[in-house]
């Protein structure tokens, strides 16, 4: 009975979300639609980072790097052949990519898979580290990716970036992917592998003694996280149409980390809500970056002032509710769902 | 079942365990005692792969025809072979529920791959159902079925110790290592625990190796006892032999 009513609620939420998106798509102006798109992408990003940081307890700060890989994969694979010639005027693009023009779906898949591949490649040596060391190593990796992309002229067009990537991303793509991510992570965490991730987060020594292969599970979780980061990066490329290596700086990772911490480490629902709120607030608080006249004092416009607000919120949350704004519901039961 | 041969464990200049040998036969309950800092937990840590011994070897023979060398294996491999343990300073998965703790103990026997768990393919669903039922059964066994949705750390101390045993049982061990299972328990709880250990030994066909400070527990249930002092084996034998052993008395009471 309870199981059944839960499914009904989930269905109702899904239908309402779809209806809301449909109406938004129809009646809102492009700027608002873009914010909705961005929210969807940040839901995917927040969840993928929460899987690594919140659920498996690995403090990784490499998200921007994996997004860059995904964004460039989609950019290069979907860009029309003539557009490529225009972009790569400094040095021609490597021959084997010159004539590729894929659809959006296979390109997104490729973006995820390549990001996951690099995740495994990086993860294999780096995931043996813990805490701060892992954070530094992954942070360094993300920066390396950015620097490499700035210098591989014939592959990524270097610092010039890519322009004219087809604008495939719409509300259905961004929220469709977000939904798939929610679904994937939800069932992953419900199943035995997800529980093993949680066990690793709680106590590595005990997890190991219960027969859980730490390395295998950490790499697995990291690869899934990187996959979705890559896909989200690809969606970002399809939304913006223009990408360059400087977009994927450490600040991008921190925006996602903000979502994860506000939403609560290890919480799926909280992450979705905080992803939407943070994305909307980022736009809504833009007035803070502009010049202000408070009557008694005049403030010149300082770009990035709105980030101060987020920093303050983050500090307050960390002090007062260290487990995130949304708490895990009490008395939640681990149930065996009957088919 | 388990044979420890000439085990030496050094940490820098400290010799935590020196030339320790022991043998545990199938179906036995064997005790390991000694004053604080004698190196008992070190031996458990070496057997379960947490530490790599300086020298010596450990052989594990669960069925009588297959010899496994445990030294050099990682803890998860050792657990998969059927050696599981509890911890002296309880190490439950604190933020998770009681049921989840036991459920995770089943994970090492899972055959389905991760994608079939996400897609909930029928063979995984069947597997999960078995794991779930087994976990519930184990909880019922330790009397925690009603608190299965509570956070593990919210349980009273004695119950947390039992939960650790249940979690270890979920891994289907052949050899169970219990590190001070009666620590912090009152006499009544201790009696229950002795009963409980005997029960699970029969039901799950276990061999048990335990460290304990409560002499009444060790003397009552062990068939064989090893006594350690400063990393050296000073006596071995059945409970009555140990009680009369002069060296043991000196180690515990000091030489006058």
* A22 in B contact zone (CB under 8 Å): no
A237-246: average pLDDT: 93
Successive 10-residue mean pLDDT values, chain B, 256 residues: 89 87 91 87 91 90 81 91 92 92 93 90 92 93 88 88 93 93 86 90 92 87 90 88 84 68
Q: Write down the pLDDT at residue B129.
A: 92
Nearest to B107 by CA among B178, B151, B172, B163: B172
- What is the DSSP-derived secondary structure letter of residue B97? B
Residues within 8 A of A (CB atoms), B 134-153 only: 148-149
Tell me: the pLDDT tens digits for A166-176?
999 888 999 99
Residue A329 scores a pLDDT above 60: no
* Tokens, residue B231: 């990393």
Sorted by where each begins, the domain ranges of chain A are 2-320
- Average pLDDT on A313-338 reads 63
Across the interface, whether the CB atoms of B94 and A337 are under 8 A apart is answered no
Q: What percent of chain A has pLDDT over 70?
A: 94
Look at residue A292 in the predicted model and tell me its pLDDT.
75
Whether residue A101 has pLDDT greater than 90: no
By the CB < 8 Å criterion, does B118 face chain A? Answer: yes
Cβ–Cβ < 8 Å for B221, B198:
yes
Q: Are B197 and B2 in contact (CB under 8 A)?
A: no
N-term to C-term CA, chain B: 40
Which pLDDT value is given to residue B255?
Answer: 60
pLDDT at A327: 57
| Token reading at A306 | 């709105």
List CB contacts of A198: < 8 A, sequence separation 6 or more.
A55, A56, A189, A266, B93, B95, B96, B100, B104
Paired tokens of A164: 């004219």
Query: Looking at the complex, does the CB of residue B87 fall below 8 Å from at least one CB of chain A?
Result: yes
Of B50, B87, B100, the CB nearest to A195: B100
**What percent helix, strand, coil does chain B show, rounded to 5?**
45, 25, 35
**pLDDT tens digit string along A58-73?**
999 999 999 999 999 9
Nearest CA in chain A to B147: A331
Nearest to A135 by CA among A53, A26, A30: A53
Angle at B250 between CA B249 and CA B253, to 5 degrees: 80
Measured between CB atoms, does B176 come within 8 Å of chain A? Answer: no
Cα separation, B130 vs B173, whole angstroms:
17
Tokens of B34: 């000694």
Pairing type for strands B29-33 and B224-229 reads parallel
Give mean pLDDT, residues A153-170. Answer: 88
Helices (H), chain A: 2-27, 30-50, 63-78, 81-87, 95-98, 104-126, 131-151, 153-156, 171-190, 192-202, 204-209, 214-240, 250-263, 268-284, 305-320
Q: Is the pLDDT of residue A338 over 80?
A: no
Continuous segment of H or E residues that includes residue B137: helix B122-141
Largest Cα separation within chain A, whole Å, is 67
For position A136, what pLDDT does the model report? 92
Q: Is B120 on the interface with A (CB under 8 A)?
A: yes
Q: Rounded to whole angstroms, how far apart are CA atoms A215 and A98? A: 39
CB contact under 8 A, A207 and B79: no
Assess A189–B contact: CB distance below 8 Å, yes or no: no
How many Cβ atoms sit within 10 Å of the Cβ of residue B151?
18
**For testing contact with chain B, the best of A192, A207, A217, A330 (most B CBs within 10 A):** A192
* Chain A residue with the nearest C-alpha to that of B76: A211
B87 CA: distance to closest CA in chain A (Å): 8
Long-range contacts, stretch A5-10, CB < 8 angstroms, 24+ apart? none
Residue A225 has pLDDT above 80, yes or no: yes
Domain A2-320 has CATH 1.10.3470: yes
Task: Pick from A184, A185, A200, A206 the residue to mutate for testing the B interface (most B CBs within 10 Å).
Answer: A206
Q: Is the CB of B92 less than 8 angstroms away from the CB of A203? A: yes
Residue contact B128–A184, C-beta within 8 A? no
User: Closest chain A residue to B127 measured between Cα atoms?
Assistant: A192
Residue for token pair 């939640």: A332
| Interface touch B110/A192, C-beta < 8 Å | yes
pLDDT for residue A339 is more than 60: no
Structure tokens given for B66: 């297959």
Q: Rounded distance, CA B174 to CA A264, Å?
A: 40
Contact B107 A211 (CB under 8 A): yes
- The CA distance from B255 to the nearest CA of chain A, in Å, is 38
| B106 reaches A (C-beta below 8 A) | yes
Identify the three-state secondary structure at position B105.
helix
Which of B75, B102, B109, B119 is the best substitution to test chain A (most A C-beta atoms within 10 A)? B75
Q: Please tell me the predicted confidence (pLDDT) of residue B163.
A: 93
In the sheet that holds B232-237, the strands lie side by side as: B83-85, B175-179, B207-211, B29-33, B224-229, B232-237
- Asked if residue A135 has pLDDT above 50, the reply is yes
Residue A40: pLDDT band (50, 70, 90) is very high
**Mean per-residue pLDDT over chain A, rounded:** 87
Q: Which residue in A has a C-alpha nearest to residue B177's C-alpha?
A: A209
Q: Does B249 touch chain A (CB under 8 A)?
A: no
B74 and A209: CB-CB below 8 Å?
A: no
Give the gap in angstroms from C-alpha B247 to the nearest C-alpha of chain A. 34
- Report the range of poorest mean pLDDT among A136-150, A301-315, B154-168: A301-315
Q: Is B111 on the interface with A (CB under 8 A)?
A: no
Q: Chain B within 8 Å of A332 (Cβ-Cβ)?
A: yes
Non-local (6+) Cβ contacts of B55 within 8 A are: B6, B7, B8
d(CA A93, CA A153): 8
Q: Is A198 on the interface with B (CB under 8 A)?
A: yes
Whole-number pLDDT of residue A1:
47
Which contacts (CB < 8 Å, 24+ apart) does range A19-23 have? A21/A171, A21/A172, A21/A175
| CB-based contact B75 A203, cutoff 8 Å | no
């Amino acid at each position: 009975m309870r199981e059944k009513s839960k499914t009904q609620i989930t269905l109702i939420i899904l239908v309402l979300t779809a209806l809301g998106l449909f109406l938004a798509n129809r009646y809102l102006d492009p700027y608002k639609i873009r914010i909705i798109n961005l929210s969807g992408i940040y839901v995917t990003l927040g969840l993928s980072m929460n899987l690594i940081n919140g659920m498996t307890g690995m403090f990784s700060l490499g998200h921007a790097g994996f997004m860059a890989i995904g964004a460039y994969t989609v950019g290069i694979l979907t860009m029309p052949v003539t557009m490529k010639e225009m972009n790569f005027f400094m040095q021609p693009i490597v021959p084997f990519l010159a004539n590729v023009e894929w659809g959006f779906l296979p390109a997104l898949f490729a973006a995820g898979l390549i990001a996951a591949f690099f995740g495994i490649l990086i993860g294999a040596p780096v995931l043996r580290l813990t805490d701060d060391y892992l954070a530094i190593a992954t942070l360094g990796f993300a920066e390396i990716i950015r620097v490499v992309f700035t210098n591989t002229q014939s592959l990524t067009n270097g610092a010039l970036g890519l322009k004219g990537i087809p604008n495939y991303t719409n509300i259905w793509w961004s929220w469709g992917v977000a939904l798939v991510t929610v679904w994937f992570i939800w069932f992953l965490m419900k199943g035995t592998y997800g529980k093993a991730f949680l066990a690793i987060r709680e106590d590595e020594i005990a997890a190991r003694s219960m027969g859980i292969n730490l390395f295998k599970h950490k790499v697995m979780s990291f690869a899934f996280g990187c996959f979705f980061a890559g896909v989200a990066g690809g969606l970002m490329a399809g939304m913006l149409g223009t990408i360059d290596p400087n977009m994927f700086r450490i600040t991008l990772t921190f925006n996602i980390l903000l979502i994860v911490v506000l939403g609560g480490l290890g919480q799926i629902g909280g992450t979705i809500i905080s992803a939407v709120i943070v994305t909307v607030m980022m736009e809504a608080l833009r007035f803070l970056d502009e010049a202000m006249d408070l009557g008694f004092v005049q403030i010149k416009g300082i770009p990035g002032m709105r980030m101060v607000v987020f920093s303050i919120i983050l500090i307050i949350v960390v002090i007062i509710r260290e487990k995130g704004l949304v708490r895990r519901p009490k008395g939640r039961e681990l149930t065996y769902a009957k088919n | 079942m388990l044979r420890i041969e000439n085990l030496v464990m050094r940490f820098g200049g400290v010799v935590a365990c020196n030339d320790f040998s022991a043998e545990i036969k199938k179906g036995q309950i064997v005790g390991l005692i000694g004053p604080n800092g004698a190196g008992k937990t070190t031996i458990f840590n070496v057997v379960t792969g947490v530490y790599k011994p300086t020298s010596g070897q450990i052989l594990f023979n669960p069925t009588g025809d297959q010899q496994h060398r445990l030294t050099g294996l990682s803890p998860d491999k050792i657990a998969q072979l059927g050696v599981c343990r509890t911890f002296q300073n309880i190490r439950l998965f604190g933020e998770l529920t009681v049921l989840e703790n036991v459920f995770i103990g089943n994970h090492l026997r899972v055959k389905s791959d991760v994608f079939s768990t996400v897609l909930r393919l029928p063979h995984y669903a069947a597997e999960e159902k078995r794991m779930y039922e087994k976990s519930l059964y184990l909880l019922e066994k330790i009397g925690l079925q009603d608190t299965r949705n509570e956070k593990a750390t919210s349980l009273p101390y004695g119950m947390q110790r039992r939960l650790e045993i249940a979690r270890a049982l979920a891994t289907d061990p052949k050899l169970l290592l219990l590190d001070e299972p009666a620590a912090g328990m009152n006499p009544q709880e201790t009696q229950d625990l002795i009963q409980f250990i005997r029960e699970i030994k029969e039901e799950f066909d276990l061999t048990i190796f335990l460290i304990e400070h409560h002499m009444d527990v060790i003397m009552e249930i062990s068939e064989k006892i090893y006594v350690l002092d400063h990393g050296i084996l000073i006596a071995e034998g059945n409970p009555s032999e140990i009680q009369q052993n002069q060296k043991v008395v000196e180690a515990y009471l000091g030489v006058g």
